[in-house]
Amino acid sequence: MRKKYKVKLTPNQRKQLLKVVHSGKQKAKTITHAQILLQANSGKEGPGLRAKAIAASLNIHERTVHRVRQSFAIDGLETALHRKKHRQYKPRKLDGDQEAHLVALCCGVPPEGRKEWTLRLLSERLVQLEVVDSISRSTVHRTLKKMNLSLG
C-alpha cells in the first residue's frame, strides 16, 4: 500500500498558492501543482480531496497528485511547485562562433595532401587554431549533423 502524505497548508501558503493560480503568469505545470495542493489541503480551509478526485477534476494522472503531495511533505512548498534542475546537464561544447569556425573549416580547402576533411582532421584543426581546448570527433560529427552538413 502507498504511503499517504497529508497536505496541511498554513494560511500564508494557501494565500501564496491562490495568488499563483489566479495570476495565471506562471508555467502551466506550476499552476497545476498549486491547484493540486489547494485541493489536497486537509486543513481548516481546504476540501482535503482524495487523489482520484483531484486527478479527475484537473484531468491529470493520479500518480502526479501523489508525487506533488510527497514533494510537499518532504521538501516543502517551493519544491512541490517547481521542477528540480537536471543534475546531468552539460553545457554545449561549441557556442555559435565556434560552430561558425567549424563550418568555415569544413567548407574550406582540406589540408595539403588530403582530398577531403575527416572528423579527426577537423577536431585537431579546431584545437590547433585555439578555437577550443579539446573536442572529440563525435562532437564534431553531432555538430555537423545538426547543421545538415556532411563530409562526404
pLDDT tens track of the chain, all 152 residues? 567 899 999 999 999 999 999 998 999 999 999 999 999 999 888 899 999 999 999 999 999 999 999 999 999 999 999 977 777 878 888 999 999 999 999 989 999 999 999 999 999 999 999 999 999 999 999 999 988 888 76
User: What pLDDT shows up at residue 91?
Assistant: 83
User: What pLDDT shows up at residue 59?
Assistant: 96
User: What pLDDT shows up at residue 152?
Assistant: 66
User: If you count them, how many residues does the chain have?
Assistant: 152
User: What pLDDT shows up at residue 41?
Assistant: 94
Report domain extents, the chain: 11-81, 96-146
As given in the structure block, the three cell numbers for residue 33 are 501543482
Nearest to 99 by CA among 77, 128, 132, 137: 132
Longest dimension (CA), the chain: 81
Quote the pTM value: 0.61
User: What pLDDT shows up at residue 88?
Assistant: 82
